[in-house]
Chain A
Amino acid sequence: MGWESWLISTFARALAYGTPLLLGTLGEIYAERSGVLNLGIEGMMIMGAYAAFVVTSKTGQPWLGVIVAAAVGGVFSLIHAFASITLKANQVVSGLALTMLGLGLAGVLGRSWVGLPLFTPLTRATVPGLSAIPIIGPGFFTRQCLLAYIAMLLVPIMWYILFHTRIGVTIRAVGEDPATADSLGVNVARVRYLCVVVGGIFAGIAGAYLSIYYRPAWTAGMTGGIGWIVIALTIFAFWNPVYGLVGSYFFAALYFLAYRMQMWVAPSILKAMPYVFAILILIFVSRGTLQKRMGAPAALTLPYTRGEE
């Protein structure tokens, strides 16, 4: 059992468990960049997981399940968007309510689907070429879910949009200084609505990944707190998709290693480690000027009304 096999298995699990975290984080980054904190990830994710499982079971088409999950997540996020953007409600409370509602609804609706096997989960694929790279190849590019590769590809795309296009500038402007953006003719509400819905779509897809690939099965509450980890990862990633990828895979790797190393350290202590590490890393990077550049969007959690700043 050499170090290569340790690395390969850790990489493989980092990708497998990190993908739902990454998907959720990518979406939440967009929502928060526009100034809307959405603590309802868990609720949107479970609705997506439920929708994907039901659709896939009924039709045998897992990709249709993914699409429907995305739609359900997006529609469900509209509740939060309406409450926090149009009604200017407190975002923390609205997000908590969304989580509660989602967990409840999916639990009630999904009762008859519990414990059924799924015969057509998303399939695995190996990336030709890349899989030949030593260690990285068998770790990241061999026999993983196609959705995991898509999530990986989305990272540079979403990073580019956010930092190098007009759309990205607009989103960030709305999140940093909505009054100025408004005065420049940006429809603040519309941008925020769109970003929250993007967050919902991604959370829905993450849910689909869980119920029709990672598990694959349905039980109430099967998201098991992943939505909360996403909230943390978003901040941990400094609202940057690239760091979102690093954070998601890192967290997943630690989660997996907690089981591999259980021989030597008490399981509870190991499982607390990712959270301790996250705080330590935040402390580390907060030193010096780095922090100013990487702080939260200035208008995060603040509703915007013209002429009221």
Chain B
Amino acid sequence: MQKKILLTAVLAVVLIAGIAVIGAAKAYVPGTPITAGFIYVGPIGDYGWTHAHDVARQIVAKEFPWLKTVYVENVAAGDTVSTIDKLVNDKHCNVIFTTSFDFMNGTLAAAKKYPDVIFAHCSGFKRAPNMATYMADFYQVYYLNGLMAGALTKTNKIGYVGAFPIPELKRHISAFTIGVRTVNPNANVYVRWTEAWENPAAAKEATEALVAEGCDVFAFTQDSPTVVQVAAANGALSFSHYSPMYRFAPNNVISGELVHWDKIYADFLRKVYNGTYTAHNLQNVDYWWLLSQGAVEMGAKPGMPINPIFINKLKATIVDDPELGKISVYDLIQTRLDQMANPGITFDPFQGPVYDRKGKLEVPAGMWMSVNSLTSMQWAVKGIIGPWPGEP
């Protein structure tokens, strides 16, 4: 009995102590130095997602003299709030970026706990007065890569090694496939899921399975260059993903997707610094940045949109585009790139009519998809072959 009383007493004491800590952070005054905390889901050396965020962090840290940055790597979903506790209370962060969908609920809870701290959560859909969301998305670039893949495949089988069947990947694979089919209606995209962001053995064997299937061009979503390496070892072509992977197979990498998170971070932090963003007006702030904002880039290394050794082949392949007439794939890529990269975007890969692979009309003729429907996309376009968990 005594034990129980003692326990209750202990619990009561910690409870009171707990309440005392809440609300310790002070509101940010515009124009004063900012300490920005970055919470990463993986190790900064993952050569993918986290690596790219950390490169961006270093760029903005160099750019703004009033900015100090701290980062925490390998944070688990369940540790989001406790990590933010330390960043706010011990590191005195005014702005915190949480860079994974996994952190969504934790960031929201922390935003309530620290109403004066400014939060930005990457790739999620929940916001609060002091919590914005942001995303640099690749679907346009995947479409452009798809155009190249369709022209360069000899077997008409293109492999895609995906991590998890979530809307982001489904959107990318569909955009990629639309590109492929635009120049090569006979080609299909074969999809395999590894159910891991980084598991080299899984990525390798999945690629090998697709090679055995007959695929000769590869795109992927993995936080490692494994697919590029395996494709090259089998004499197949590939697209780099996220980080510049050109040097892993200079003769086999066609192009790829590069990200510039620093564009978003710089814009966001500048607006916090000059008082545009406060801890009270972020409820509707959602960055959905694409080619035209420079948040993403086509290429396997910065400044090289297409590996030169493939340019002649792309120029020599002529297709009949319903809108642009007879045109080389190379020119088609340039045209579409210009249409999407310049302000006043005049083209979108998901321009209707778009049918899913079951034949249902998903985007009516002449329509574009809303950001909301893009970020919750579940269906697959025609030409995708492979399992599609959650397909409507």
Direct contact of A and B (CB under 8 A): yes
B47 x A255 contact (CB < 8 A): no
How long is the Cα–Cα vector from A5 to B389 in the complex, in angstroms?
28
Q: Which residues of A contact B202 (CB under 8 A)?
A: 224, 259
How long is the Cα–Cα vector from A16 to B209 in the complex, in angstroms?
13
How long is the Cα–Cα vector from A172 to B235 in the complex, in angstroms?
47
B224 x A219 contact (CB < 8 A): yes
Identify which of B200, B204, B211, B243 contacts A115 (C-beta below 8 A): B243
Number of chain B residues close to chain A: CB under 8 A: 34
Q: Which residues of B contact A266 (CB under 8 A)?
A: 387, 389
Chain A residue at minimum C-beta to C-beta distance from B45? A114
Instruction: Decide yes or no whether B385 CB sits under 8 A from chain A.
Output: yes
Instruction: Decide yes or no whether B116 CB sits under 8 A from chain A.
Output: no
Cβ distance A18 to chain B, nearest Cβ, rounded Å: 11
B387 x A224 contact (CB < 8 A): no
B205 x A17 contact (CB < 8 A): yes
Instruction: Decide yes or no whether A226 CB sits under 8 A from chain B.
Output: yes
Identify which of B47, B195, B201, B248 contacts A224 (C-beta below 8 A): B201
List residues of B (173-228) whose CB comes within 8 Å of A's CBs: 192-193, 195, 198-202, 204-206, 208-214, 224-226
Q: Which residues of B contact A226 (CB under 8 A)?
A: 201
B195 x A259 contact (CB < 8 A): no
Identify which of B45, B51, B205, B386 contacts A263 (C-beta below 8 A): B386
Instruction: Decide yes or no whether B43 CB sits under 8 A from chain A.
Output: yes
Instruction: Decide yes or no whether A159 CB sits under 8 A from chain B.
Output: no
A262 x B386 contact (CB < 8 A): yes
Number of chain A residues close to chain B: CB under 8 A: 34
Identify which of B45, B210, B214 contacts A220 (C-beta below 8 A): B45
Instruction: Decide yes or no whether A215 CB sits under 8 A from chain B.
Output: yes
A259 x B243 contact (CB < 8 A): no
B47, B193, B212 pick with most chain A CB within 10 angstroms: B212
B residues whose Cβ falls under 8 Å from a Cβ of A = 43, 45-47, 51, 192-193, 195, 198-202, 204-206, 208-214, 224-226, 229, 243, 247-248, 385-387, 389
A residues whose Cβ falls under 8 Å from a Cβ of B = 1, 5-6, 9, 13, 16-17, 107, 111, 114-115, 117, 210, 214-217, 219-222, 224, 226, 255-256, 258-260, 262-263, 266-268, 271
